[in-house]
Amino acid sequence: MKAKVYVTLKPSVLDPQGKAIQHSVESIGFSQIEEVRQGKFFEIALDSSISEVEAKNITERIAKEVLANPVIEDYRVEVEK
Amino acid sequence: MKFGVIVFPGSNCDHDAYHVVSKHVGQPVEFIWHKETDLSDFDALIVPGGFSYGDYLRCGALAKFSPVMQSVKNFAAEGKFVFGICNGFQILCEAGLLDGALLRNRDLHFICDHVNLRVETNESPYTTELETGRVLSIPIAHAEGNYVCDDETFDKLEANKQIIFRYCDENGVVNDKSNPNGARSNIAGICNETRNVLGMMPHPERACEELLGSNDGIDVFKSLTKAITANMEE
């Protein structure tokens, strides 16, 4: 069982790294870019004996308590077999 | 009276803090390895600067899971003093002992420089030996010092006078130009509601000797020492 966690900055939080990336992207000619926001992506391998619901619950807790800081970040969890 | 300096893997300002307490404050001090859980010997803790756990994940994010941190939370809940400097401030925010978070600097650079700080209030155990409005020259050395919090938290910090230090110019004027990292409202240091926990990005422990360009930091440690003495007499 594999879980994926996406951690992104809350919309209200400025992302100067995303801005710098956007400028680089624009400098090589991609003028259609409106915004780049940088985030984090985690892949978590889980014991195959647990159910999908259990895997989702565990991963949600890991995301909330460790991977994301709820003061500045949001997270999204996906579980796949 | 005894100070403790907590040492995480990657702490690197632990010896500076120890030096200042032992040599300039003249009080007993011990290092506390992050695996320790018994803090009953101590009256104040310093969570020092550095790069705990290599800044992996987020600055301070992994240090909050060190065994010592549950004891630090209990220690703070008893009203004892916990002083986080730089990475220590980041750790205390991550651990929920202080409000808000510290993000990458506005211009993305690591900044190592002397900055001016305005003492926003001397009504804290860390600033009684300073005058409100006094301008201190204290060094900063960080890449993630951009303090953020939501509006509700900010209003609470203001209302309770929890903002202790703000970045300013040499005349004490707080403006965008004197803000090195983009921190909200030029915030450089805050305390908790009960005022016994303080976190600040600048390094007062690096400004306790004329030889180092400033000794403005020593009054922070003197204030804290006075507060500990008062606590012990209660």
- B201–chain A nearest CA distance, Å: 18
Task: Determine whether B208 is an active site residue.
Answer: no
pLDDT of residue B164: 98
Q: How far apart are the first and last CA of chain A?
A: 5
Mean pLDDT of A18-27: 94
Mean pLDDT of B51-80: 97
Residues B162-179: tens digit of each pLDDT:
999 999 999 999 999 999
Give CA–CA dist A5/A73, Å, rounded.
12
Flag if A72 and B101 touch (Cβ within 8 Å): yes
What confidence tier does B207 reach under pLDDT thresholds 50, 70, 90?
A: very high
**What is this structure's pTM?**
0.95
Nearest CB to B148: which of A13, A17, A66?
A13
pLDDT of residue A62: 97
Residues B41-55: tens digit of each pLDDT:
999 999 999 999 999
Q: Encode A23-42 in three state secondary structure.
A: HHHHHCCCCCCCCCCCEEEE
Contact list in A for residue B145 (CB cut-off 8 A) is none
Flag if A16 and B65 touch (Cβ within 8 Å): no
Provide ipTM, 2 decimals. 0.88
Flag if B182 and A71 touch (Cβ within 8 Å): no
Question: What six digits make up the tokens of B78?
Answer: 């008893």
Nearest CB to A69: which of B101, B106, B182?
B101
pLDDT of residue B234: 76
- B192–chain A nearest CA distance, Å: 16
Flag if B61 and A66 touch (Cβ within 8 Å): yes
List of residues 6+ apart from B228 with CB closer than 8 A: B1, B43, B44, B81
Helix (H) or strand (E) holding B67: helix B67-77
% of chain B beyond a pLDDT of 90:
98
User: How would you label A4-42 residue by residue, b for 16+ Cβ within 10 Å and e otherwise?
Assistant: ebbbbbeeebebbeebeebeeeeeeeeeeeeebeeeeeb
Residues B104-162: tens digit of each pLDDT:
999 999 999 999 999 999 999 999 999 999 999 999 999 999 999 999 999 999 999 99
Pick the closest to residue B4 from B64, B80, B77 (CA basis). Answer: B80
